[in-house]
Chain A
Amino acid sequence: MIPDLGKYADAVLWSYAASLALLIALVVFSVMRGRKVRMEMEKVENRMTRNG
């Protein structure tokens, strides 16, 4: 239940929405890139091991 924010409700809710969206985007982007790079590294390492 959202508390009564009075006449400043828009300012408070926009602050939280924008900040949380930015933080979540940063975490999601970091994790996605991390996974992609890790998989790519494993692929390259395996290929190099196979080829000697």
Chain B
Amino acid sequence: MSIAAKTNTLWEYANPRKFLATSERVLPFFWMSSLLCLVVGLTWGFFFTPDDYKQGSTVKIIYLHVPAALMAINCWLMMLATSLVWLVRRHHVSALAARAAAPVGIVMTLIALATGAIWGQPMWGTWWAWDPRLTAFLILFLFYLGYVALWEAIEDSDTAADLTSVLCLVGSVFALLSRYAVNFWNQGLHQGASVMRAAAVTGADTEEKVSNIYFYPLLLCIIGFVLLFITLVLYRTGTEIRARRIKALLARERLNG
């Protein structure tokens, strides 16, 4: 199949009926696989990995903190992509997908901030520091709250989609900063990437990276979080599509008297 044909197939999912039919079909697989990966990954990490020689048992927090932080950033990037699709092609499903993803992003950011604070207290001696990465994450969290509040505050859904899409574009700066702040400003308490660093995986650099004993269960947890995110976004987008249809039906009913 050519790229143009593949792209056309992708746009078919802008049709709410097609989207609902496909998501209903794939959702059971995503629910089960995300649950399986999370249960196995977290059980493996919590019960069957040793304490770290420096960090003791707090290393077990990595199985929640890293996947949640990754998803907090990637959720916003997904919202950015769907917002751009809305702004350019005016597909309602894409705007609703962004709306559906935002609460998932809020929870992921909250988990990353909470576990980071709980982990930071015994390791750094403080719950919080105005470190570039931590601050960027806090601002990202506030952007998520603002995004959801803006959707709720505006009656007309097309106007709400327009304004939230612009907000999403602006907030993307902080989504990227929360990932790369450590590289931009070489200061603060938070370490640089030690898991998802291509040069560390290939062995091209000599900086410290997470040991394989922790990496494999962590990878499973990351896959579990990604699958859970996809599951929730598909499910919640379906809910948003139905809620929009109810609004349209009620408006038609009122018009008909």
Interface residues of A (CB under 8 A from B): 3-9, 11-12, 14-16, 18-19, 22-23, 25-27, 30-31, 33-34, 37-38, 40-41, 44-45, 47-48, 51
Contact = CB atoms under 8 A, between A and B. Distances in A.
B57 A8 contact: yes
Given A12-B58, A30-B239, A3 B115 contact: no
Contacts, number: 93
A26 B232 contact: yes
A36 B29 CA distance: 23
B254 to A, nearest CB: 12
Contacts of A38: 239, 242
Contacts of B122: 8, 11
Contacts of A19: 64, 68, 111, 114-115
A7 B58 CA distance: 10
A14 to B, nearest CB: 5
Given A15-B119, A26-B107, A38-B239, 20 more contacts: A8-B56, A8-B57, A8-B122, A9-B57, A11-B119, A12-B60, A15-B65, A18-B115, A18-B118, A19-B115, A22-B107, A23-B228, A30-B232, A30-B235, A31-B235, A33-B239, A34-B236, A37-B243, A38-B242, A45-B249
A11 B121 contact: yes
A5 B57 CA distance: 5
Interface of B: 42, 46-47, 51, 56-58, 60-61, 64-65, 68, 103-104, 107, 110-111, 114-115, 118-119, 121-122, 228, 232, 235-236, 238-239, 242-243, 245-246, 249-250, 252-253
A16 B249 contact: no
Nearest to B60: A12
Q: Is the interface of A mostly helix, strand, loop or mixed?
A: helix
Contacts of A41: 242-243, 245-246, 249
Contacts of B47: 3
Contacts of B111: 18-19, 22-23
Contacts of B42: 16
5 contacts: A12-B61, A15-B60, A15-B115, A22-B107, A51-B253
A38 B47 CA distance: 40
Contacts of A33: 239
A22 B239 CA distance: 20
B114 A34 contact: no
A32 to B, nearest CB: 10
A44 B46 CA distance: 48
B239 A34 contact: yes
B242 A6 contact: no
B59 to A, nearest CB: 9
A34 B235 contact: yes
Contacts of B245: 41
